[in-house]
Amino acid sequence: MPRDPITQRLLLDWFVDLDMPEGLRAELVEGEFVVPPVPDGHHEHCISRIVGQMHRQSQTDMQFSGNKGLKLRNAEGYPQDHVIPDGTCAPKELRLFRGADPWMPCEGVAVVLEVTSSKPQIDREVKRRCYARGGIPLYLLVDRETSWITLFGNPESGDYQELHAVAFGKPLALHQPFAFDLDTTDFL
């Protein structure tokens, strides 16, 4: 729901000053507060398998950050959304993570990774739109409920214009800067 700029500013100020209990994290996503659940073992297994393959097979030397806060523009163009992907990758030469603030801009990020948890619609729809508005070239979604992995690309007009999806167990071709087939056999 669109909010006036004053309300958006108050909401953002309140969010930035929020003091979460240790071990929990909060996100501000399309004007809603989201407190993701603590990940289970299969969630972390999927991330580990993807990151390992990216480090071994990527055509570009990549750096990875798990749970790095990103500041993104909302639908009205305000720098409002504060989202924490399960994984963020950027070319190592950019050194984006070294010295970065807890909430960094998304310029230079090559791909964000999400593995669904108890509220998969947030990852499937809401975060997808946030990442597209932020201009992040690729969004990789591991949907454990459907047993599919999807690579979204070509962000334009607030959403991704391309998607490539495969069932767990089949390889997924990753675009540049990765340029390799992601093995999803171990996600089953």
Give domain limits for the chain.
40-66+84-187
Least Cα distance to 71 among 58, 80, 59 occurs for: 80
Measure the CA–CA gap between 34 and 22, rounded to whole angstroms. 16
Bridging pattern class, strands 159-167 and 148-156:
antiparallel
Kindly report the CATH class assigned to 40-66+84-187: alpha beta
14-54 per-position pLDDT tens digit: 888 888 887 778 998 888 888 888 889 999 999 999 999 99
Q: How many C-beta atoms lie closer than 10 Å to residue 17's C-beta? A: 7
pTM strictly above 0.85: yes
Is 69's pLDDT higher than 70? yes
Q: Could you tell me what percentage of the chain is helix, strand and coil, using 3-state DSSP and rounding each to the nearest 5?
A: 25, 30, 40
78-96 per-position pLDDT tens digit: 658 899 999 999 999 999 9
Least confident of 47-51, 54-58, 75-79, 133-137: 75-79
Look at the alpha carbons of 127, 128, 134, 138 in this order and tell me if their dihedral is positive or negative: positive
